[in-house]
Amino acid sequence: MRKLPSGRWQASFVGPDLARHSAPHTFETKGDAEGWLGRRHAEVVAGEWQAPAPVVRVAPLTFDAYSAQWLRERDLKPRTREGYEHLLRRYLAPVLGSLTIDSVTPSVVRTWWSQLPSDLPTVRARSYALLKAIMNTAVADEVIDSNPCRIRGAANTPRAREIRPASLEELSVIVEAIPSRHRALVLLCAWCALRSGEVLEMRRKDVDVVAGTVRVVRAVSWVGGLAVVGTPKSAAGTRVVSMPPHIVPAVAHHLDTMTAAAPDALLFPGRDGVTHLQPSTLHRNWRLARETAGRPDLRVHDLRHTGATMAARAGATLAELQQRLGHSSVSAALRYQHAAQGRDKEIAAALSVMAGRESR
Q: Which of 10-19, 93-102, 233-242, 281-290 shows the lowest per-residue confidence on average (mean pLDDT)?
A: 233-242
> Which residue is catalytic, options 124, 182, 195, 203?
195
Model-level pTM greater than 0.75? no
Catalytic position from the list 304, 305, 324, 338: 304
State how far the alpha carbon of 85 is from the alpha carbons of 91, 96, 140, in Å: 10, 14, 22
d(CA 119, CA 114): 12
Catalytic: which of 66, 84, 91, 336? 336
Give residue-wise pLDDT tens across range 32-72.
999 999 999 999 999 898 888 765 555 678 999 999 999 99
Nearest-angstrom CA–CA distance, 254 and 264: 15
Q: Is the pLDDT of residue 340 over 50?
A: no
**Is 338 an annotated catalytic residue?**
no
With bands split at pLDDT 50, 70 and 90, how would you rate the model's confidence at 345? low
327 is catalytic: yes
Measured CA to CA, the distance from residue 243 to residue 289 in angstroms comes to 23
Residue 193, number of CB atoms within 10 A of its CB: 23
Average pLDDT over residues 307-336: 79
Tell whether the model's pLDDT for residue 76 goes beyond 80.
yes
Catalytic-role residue among 301, 313, 335, 343 = 301
Q: What is the pLDDT at residue 71?
A: 94
CB environment 247-275: b (16+ within 10 A), e (fewer): bbebbbebbeebbeeeeeebbbbeeeeee
195 is catalytic: yes
Q: What is the pLDDT of residues 171-211, one digit of tens each?
A: 999 999 999 999 999 999 999 999 999 999 999 999 999 99
Q: How far apart are CA 132 and CA 74, in angstroms?
A: 15
Which residue among 218, 239, 305, 327 is the active-site one? 327
pLDDT of residue 341: 45
